[in-house]
Chain A
């Protein structure tokens, strides 16, 4: 109500003034503001607490990272100016760059970095693996600190330079000391942008301004690495829940950039001379059909295997992404087009679809028409499309499918339930991951089959767990590759989940935006508006 109280006395004056100053056309936006339509609504301000991509992207705006992944998948120093690795590879010493400063005016100190990493290691899966290897983290002085390992951890730089959720962002020590299970709400960071919390309207708008104190690196940008030079004064994230409206708004120039949209709209947006449609994400996204391995019938491995023979990536991906230029089949548990990917063990999923074989397996499993609950999120087109097609393919081999529709928020709550079906439980749900999250065994968490402690669905496969540990200790590429292939063969035998294909979520922006950084995560630095 405060806004009315403030607004009313000003109404008369404002109306007169406004009438005099009124802009003649509706399609105007001020010169140095980018109006950006994000993929979803920013609701949580703690990128360590949640893995939501929107919060991760927010994190890249307001925070900086010690290391960052470049386009060759190599972690490069970002906040770190120089670093040393001891010969035994057990001590890493980092020195921070000059002039790093938080938006509250305090300099970035070693203590901030250590506290931030500690909090991150409690939440993130790779961080937890790293925690097992870390002996201590100690500050030498305000700008130098070292990580001393108990045992070798070849992935250390990959971990602290992790590209996707959860990203080890560096926060002030006072904030990073917050319990890892409690959400932080203070947006103080040292990143290229500053978040204006007062102007934040959850569900509608989030506003960032350029952080004048940020000193970018001198290298050109490459994914999250390199110089993060901000070339506009202000970035507004405007949530437009209705895709049809968002498309029209971009066409009319009311917004500058639409982060992600249903691929079906590509031809329409391409027709507009002032709009650039681009695939800036080289890794794309990967669809996932996940089983609840605790409940019948999918606690029986034969039932899970049966689905390998009927899921048709071509049908699924056509519904998810339309035109074949937007998707490809990907019969690997690792992002296709990256080093670990292969088709080892993928024969059941790859070949001609074989309903007879599936029916035989279903029969062997002793399935007897029990209800199978599939959960779908109708507000997420790429999830809903997977669910609808797969449900249909399952019905075709005689499975009694109960496709339950809800929104993603509800699904996220419900998938945490291990209860039986009549108490709100579930058998399958569908989702997708950014390709950056599926690069290798250390990142892919549906593959991490560590039972009830693990990701929703609670697949349990000791062999996969053991192989994953081996992979993380492997120090050369050939060994990594070999173990990764072994894991994939195992994954297509015990079937913790089924990959449903790889697709790109195109992005579109007005032609006057220049310098968009191609990367698996959307970054707003280096972009200018002409």
Chain B
């Protein structure tokens, strides 16, 4: 008993911290937990009672959810539970992939345009042009050019998101450029690259990180929309958008084909949004009030 109580004493501040966090940011904690669950699900999909998500078995098609098929089966007799779990992989890949690449390219373009006038004139015109094409429309127009593949979906959505990041970064850079500490560094002969690296980049991280979470959320929705209208991930890949696209025919007789993947998608996107809000509050109180 003594040992245990000693343990409790040691742990106490940490539990209090945890309890405090939950009390003050219940939504962020909930979001993080959901997200964690999704990641675990995606990574360990093969070990969570799933079967081959693309093996067809017409004999047992369109079965309602039961003990055997937790989420039922689809029109080809494929197990919807397995497909939904594997679907998490696709959505997370798209969300994280787009968030990562859009951030990297957006940062690069934003930094350059913020400092180099010639590049600014040229690149920002292109960015303005791309930005005036609504993102989903831009993504489907790009998908019309190439064949359906997960990589192409990520590229198409990334291209439609880059201008927004670039614009955000450029705004931050422009406001920093005239700051005394930057001017001082430049005056002291610090190279442009080094200035960007040492002084500018660190200041862009907070807003970009917040932006990245929102991009991640909207990319997952966009992937579902693209798949839904038939211009997205190839149908043999079990993405949530594809499961719903194939299931929509049956939504009156087999609503679970839409409900389960829809639920998972909404929950994941919601979780990412909540985490994004939390990040924003933590990193940038001013931005918090603005958004």
Contacts and interface: CB of A to CB of B under 8 A. Distances in A.
B236 A318 contact: no
B61 interface: yes
Interface in B56-83: 56, 58-59, 61-62, 75-77
B171 interface: no
Interface string B85-107: 00000000000000000000000
B248 A389 contact: no
A253 B58 CA distance: 33
Interface string B231-272: 000111000000000001111110000000000000000000
Nearest to A320: B58
B58 A319 contact: yes
A186 interface: no
Nearest to B56: A392
A379 B230 contact: yes
Given A318-B58, A379-B230, A389 B76 contact: yes
Contacts of A188: none
Nearest to B247: A244
Contacts of A248: 252
Interface in A230-264: 242-244, 247-248, 262, 264
Interface in B190-249: 230, 234-236, 248-249
Contacts of A243: 249
A315 B59 contact: yes
Contacts of B77: 319
A381 B250 CA distance: 12
B147 interface: yes
Interface string A352-394: 0000000000000000000000000011010011001100100
Q: How large is the interface on B (under 10, 10 to 19, 20 to 34, 35 or more residues)?
A: 20 to 34
A344 interface: no
B252 A247 contact: yes
A262 B246 CA distance: 13
B147 A404 contact: yes
A268 to B, nearest CB: 5
B75 A385 contact: yes
Interface string B38-61: 000000000000000011101101
B148 interface: yes
A378 B77 CA distance: 17
Contacts of B234: 404-405
B107 to A, nearest CB: 35
A265 B75 contact: no
Contact of B76 (A247, A268, A388, A403): A388
A267 interface: yes
Given A248-B252, A264-B62, A267-B253, A319 B148 contact: no
Contacts of B251: 244
A405 B251 CA distance: 22
Contacts of A98: none
Contact of A244 (B55, B75, B248): B248
A388 B55 CA distance: 9
Contacts of A403: 236
Interface of B: 54-56, 58-59, 61-62, 75-77, 147-148, 230, 234-236, 248-253
Contacts of A315: 58-59
Majority secondary structure of chain A interface residues (helix, strand, loop or mixed): helix
A384 B74 CA distance: 14
A199 interface: no
Interface in A311-355: 314-316, 318-319, 322
Contacts of A385: 75-76
A136 interface: no
A482 to B, nearest CB: 37
B59 A318 contact: yes
A419 to B, nearest CB: 15
Contact of B61 (A244, A265, A318, A404): A318
Given A405-B234, A405-B236, A244 B56 contact: no
Interface in A391-410: 392, 403-407
Best-buried of B61, B147, B234, B235 by chain A (most CB within 10 Å): B235
A69 B56 CA distance: 41
Contacts of A247: 252
Majority secondary structure of chain B interface residues (helix, strand, loop or mixed): loop
Contact of B249 (A262, A267, A407): A262
A166 B80 CA distance: 43
B235 A378 contact: yes
A267 B250 CA distance: 12
Given A242-B248, A244-B248, A385-B76, A405 B58 contact: no
Contacts of A379: 230
A392 B253 contact: no
A316 B250 CA distance: 19
Interface in A29-74: none
A267 B62 CA distance: 13
A405 B55 CA distance: 17
Contacts of A404: 147, 234
Contacts of B59: 315, 318
Given A319-B58, A389-B58, A405 B253 contact: no
A254 to B, nearest CB: 15
A389 B59 CA distance: 11
Given A319-B75, A319-B76, A392-B55, 5 more contacts: A265-B253, A267-B253, A319-B56, A384-B235, A407-B230
A251 to B, nearest CB: 8
Best-buried of A242, A268, A405 by chain B (most CB within 10 Å): A405
Contacts of A318: 58-59, 61
Given A385-B76, A388-B56, A405 B252 contact: no
Contact of B253 (A264, A319, A407): A264
Nearest to A396: B55
5 contacts: A268-B252, A319-B56, A319-B77, A379-B230, A392-B55
Contact of B235 (A242, A262, A319, A405): A405
Nearest to A393: B56
A389 B249 contact: no
A247 B248 CA distance: 12
Nearest to A262: B249
B253 A389 contact: no
Given A264-B62, A315-B58, A392-B56, A244 B230 contact: no
A319 B61 contact: yes
Contacts of A244: 248-252
Nearest 6 pairs between A and B by C-beta?
Answer: A318-B58, A319-B58, A392-B56, A315-B58, A405-B235, A243-B249
B69 to A, nearest CB: 17
Nearest to B77: A319
A314 B59 CA distance: 9
A318 B73 CA distance: 14
A392 B252 CA distance: 28
A315 B236 CA distance: 18
A244 B251 CA distance: 7
B58 to A, nearest CB: 4
A268 B77 CA distance: 19
Nearest to A242: B248
